A and B are shown apart, each in its own frame.
Chain A
Amino acid sequence: MIVELLSVLTIFIGGCALTRVTGLKGWPLPAIGFAAGVALLVIIGTLQAITALPTSPVLALVLTFLLPVAWWFRAFLSGQEVSIKPIPTIITLFIFILASLVLRNIVSVTPDSFQYVTIGSLLESGNFSEASPLILLKRFIAVPILHSPANLAEGFYIRSITPLLALSLLICLVWFINKGLSVSLKDPVIISLFTTAAVLLLVTNNRFVFNMFYINSHMLVALFLLLLVGSGWLLLRQADVPQQTLIMLQVISIPVLTLARPEASIYAGIALIPILIAERVSLKNRMLLLLVLGVSVISWHGFLWIKYDADGSDVPFSVLAMLAYGILVIIITPLLAWKPLYKLIPYSVVLTESGLWLALLVMVYINPSIFHRSVLATIENVILDAGGWGVSLAFIGFIVLGVLVFSQVPDRLILRFPLTTFIPLSLLLAYLRSGAYRVGHGDSLNRMFIHILPLAVLFIVSSAATDQFSLPEGLRKYWLLLVTRINKYKYIFAKNNL
């Protein structure tokens, strides 16, 4: 327990120091700081693993603590406003320790969990080179890095880390809603009610609760996807938040997603597209985000390539495809500044979304069976309760659809895009893995829904700022036409006493 507490405290303090340097203060600092600390640990741990450095979690934790704290001291000594108040800091630390101790009492595992902790154990024991490339390809490295310190005390996993990630996610969601809605709404009661409703909508969801304690990468991906998209949203909304904090959150979210799950780097790329077309974000920042994505993808998949090669096995197609994706992102990065291409960038949203649907259509034409079986299994999982969601997910899906049709909120493309592209993307992934999705809560897609659930809740609640309760512009035209026609016929009928 001491190792566990020391580990989470190290992550927490390091992350808070980093976040404070970016200018953020107040109640969101601990939650965002913890997420930042987790990201730092993952990035440092990965650098250790893919280079010749020792993979000891002690080194990773020390660096996670020392680097940001040193940076904070430097900023403090140079006169920057990064001060912290002692009494709130002590109270926060106390609450954090208490939360860690309470939340560590529940853990849920499935067979996948054991592969994660296996890799974590190999990292700690200095035997990471023995890890099979197949396991690394499936489980990646972010979650093993988070759990590897447990091995220092003969344990296998840090029991409180996933619940703390979930807690961090909830507080970050509150922060995003609060700051995002404050741009549009004046009444704090309305904002508070919607914020509370959003949190309750998540914490009463059975699968969210399950994932709060589940040793897997789902909560990690859900948190960092929310951070990436939510920060982008606040950035575009020009909310009353330090811009540096938002950029920092985006920069650290990308590598964590890339290192957490096979499909998560695609999520990251998709989530970035609405930011790339936003002129309100500086070109330098947009290029930075793309560069981080490209470097992260190439680093990890390049490592996997070397690993497969050293193992004497054929390099899987997915590794080569992801390497090509990473290289493409790097190539696009400098082109962002090239004016002829810049004119085409606004079309990237439409091109990506229609491209995904088109690719899915092609795949369905080639092999309709995978699509049919996947769709049927997903319907059974989501609507007929085979996936453990009850009707919760279907209900949220319908609310998202309603919000999409009946509300107009500025800058919501960034929130909407990862949600609507998730459908064709996830169905395409069934083809990439060469197998249809299955019935049951262990099914991949059924578990992947949690990645976008917090985002869906943010999307729903963000529409409280809608300035009109009506059909979107395009549909409204046809609706008005229809109403006019009906009125016209009514008039004719009335006139002729019909």
Chain B
Amino acid sequence: MAKRKIENPVKWTAYQLLLLGIIIGAIIANIIQYPAIDFNMTSVNYPSLKGYDSQDLAEIGRNYSGSFTRARFGAYLGLSQISKGVNVFLPIESSFTNEKLYGLGLIKSVERLNYDPKKLYLEFDLASYEIINFEGSEERGPGKVAVVLGRETPEAFIVLKRDDTWYFVDLDLFPEELLEELL
């Protein structure tokens, strides 16, 4: 804890003033372009996120088009309520749209599924228990949900409900024999 002599006891220097000015400029630029947190604390006693009603799960930030998206990762809204199961969840990327995820999060029963590891997709229909083809369009409604799972890497995930428990199952962890039984 050796105390050293002050190296630069001089007061403000031109460099310091300039640096502080630039930093303040950067802060203002940050605030102007990205108001990530709504600092209006009047209605709630915690910071809320612009564009989100929920205080639960949400992503702060913007989507690719530059606007805040309400439904983004909305599916996970239900995750805290989902019973604990085989573990996992690894939803997807581009083919797994926000709307589909949202539908998935809302619907509480999936009884049957199919999975094609070669094509890396999964589709199912709650109402008919039939496999449906569901790529690129949005279809959800009472008792019906379709999920397309896909990634560039050879990973995949399945979603099912057994014994009243929701399982988002990462195939890496899923017992092979159980998968065969299900398929």
Contacts and interface: CB of A to CB of B under 8 A. Distances in A.
Contacts of B18: 469
B148 interface: no
A212 to B, nearest CB: 8
Given A183-B4, A469-B15, A118 B173 contact: yes
A205 B64 CA distance: 18
A210 B61 contact: yes
Given A122-B87, A442-B93, A109 B76 contact: yes
A465 B7 contact: yes
B7 A390 contact: no
Contacts, number: 180
A201 B30 contact: yes
Label chain B's interface by main secondary structure.
Answer: loop
B33 A391 contact: yes
B84 A121 contact: yes
A286 B49 CA distance: 45
B26 to A, nearest CB: 5
B87 A121 contact: yes
Interface residues of B, number: 60
Given A154-B83, A156-B79, A466-B15, A108 B23 contact: no
Contacts of B59: 108-110, 210
B168 interface: yes
A423 B87 CA distance: 37
A239 B79 CA distance: 47
Contacts of A209: 36-37, 60
Interface in B112-135: none
A156 B56 CA distance: 14
A471 interface: no
Contact of B61 (A190, A200, A206, A396): A206
Contact of A106 (B7, B47, B80): B47
A88 B33 CA distance: 39
Nearest to A466: B15
Nearest to A442: B93
A399 B20 CA distance: 11
Interface residues of A, number: 76
A94 to B, nearest CB: 16
A390 B19 contact: no
Interface string A112-138: 001101100110010100111011000
A241 B1 CA distance: 6
Nearest to A237: B4
A178 interface: no
Contacts of A386: 64
Interface string A176-202: 000000011111001001100110110
Contacts of B90: 111, 114-115, 118
26 contacts: A102-B45, A102-B46, A107-B56, A108-B58, A110-B59, A114-B89, A122-B87, A125-B87, A135-B170, A135-B173, A151-B84, A154-B84, A155-B80, A156-B80, A185-B6, A185-B8, A186-B9, A187-B12, A201-B23, A206-B60, A238-B4, A385-B66, A390-B33, A392-B30, A392-B33, A407-B15
Interface of A: 102, 105-111, 114-115, 117-118, 121-122, 125, 127, 130-132, 134-135, 151, 154-156, 183-187, 190, 193-194, 197-198, 200-201, 204-207, 209-210, 213, 237-238, 240-243, 385-386, 388, 390-392, 395-396, 399, 402-403, 406-407, 410, 440-442, 460-461, 463-469
Given A111-B92, A440-B64, 12 more contacts: A111-B93, A114-B168, A115-B170, A118-B90, A135-B172, A187-B12, A206-B33, A386-B64, A390-B29, A390-B30, A406-B15, A441-B61
